[in-house]
A and B are shown apart, each in its own frame.
Chain A
Amino acid sequence: DIQMTQSPASLSASVGETVTITCRASENIYSYLAWYQQKQGKSPQLLVYNAKTLAEGVPSRFSGSGSGTQFSLKINSLQPEDFGSYYCQHHYGTPPTFGGGTKLEIK
């Protein structure tokens, strides 16, 4: 199975800052990577798929990049509603494993 490693596990930032979350795959997954946001007590929401394609309705301050084994999610000008947990997941075959998650908290 492909292992997905996310970093950092937690991150503290202020409104208006720019943050980057990284995800590393244990083998080449080309661009088959998605990012999800999950707020406390809610279901995950798709943000990005195919490494860099924003899902419908996702603000342009979110951007995804990378290919192969190294990926990142960048959030420009953090807004209060951006705080929560973020997960990467590959979609290159089964099982489509998730990263361990990054908890983004308000500083």
Chain B
Amino acid sequence: QIQLVQSGPELKKPGETVKISCKASGYTFTNYGMNWVKQAPGKGLKWMGWINTYTGEPTYADDFKGRFAFSLETSASTAYLQINNLKNEDTATYFCARWATMITDYWGQGTTLTVSS
């Protein structure tokens, strides 16, 4: 069955860097894009962007340009989200989600990031 398994919760200080992983199984990794979605505590869903898993080309939503980076380890069917120079407002749950012809069909379980001094 199709699964997206994300790395565990993270506690970081402002200014640090975090890298969240999302390991896919049950399908051909390079046949589907991978979205990243942010959900701040008690808030709604916000699309961060996506990465083309065939070419490796990332696309970032406007609010996520600069400190955010999507990457791949295709041989391990794994996508990564890296956030540099962490800020308090990065505290959120981050989801990876498979993108099938613009439809987000399978989601990871989410990774909770807490940024606090």
Tell me whether A96 and B104 are in contact (CB under 8 A): yes
Complex: how many Å from CA A46 to CA B71?
A: 25
> At the interface, is chain B mostly helix, strand, loop or mixed?
strand
The answer to whether A100 has its CB under 8 Å from any CB of chain B is yes
By the criterion CB–CB under 8 Å, are B109 and A43 in contact?
yes
B contacts with A, residue count (CB < 8 A): 20
Chain B hits for A36, CB < 8 A: 45, 104
A-B contact count, CB below 8 Å?
56
Cβ 8 A contact of A97, one of B47, B102, B109: B47
Chain B residues 56 to 97 lying within 8 A of chain A, measured CB to CB, are 59, 61-62, 95, 97
Give the A interface residue count (CB, 8 A): 25
Q: Is the interface of A mostly helix, strand, loop or mixed?
A: loop
Determine the residue in chain B with the shortest Cβ distance to A93: B102
User: Is B26 in contact with chain A by the CB < 8 A criterion?
Assistant: no
- A binding-site residues for B, Cβ under 8 Å: 32, 34, 36, 38, 42-46, 49-50, 55, 87, 89, 91-101
6 residue pairs, one from A and one from B, having the closest CB atoms:
A43-B107, A91-B102, A101-B44, A98-B45, A49-B103, A95-B61
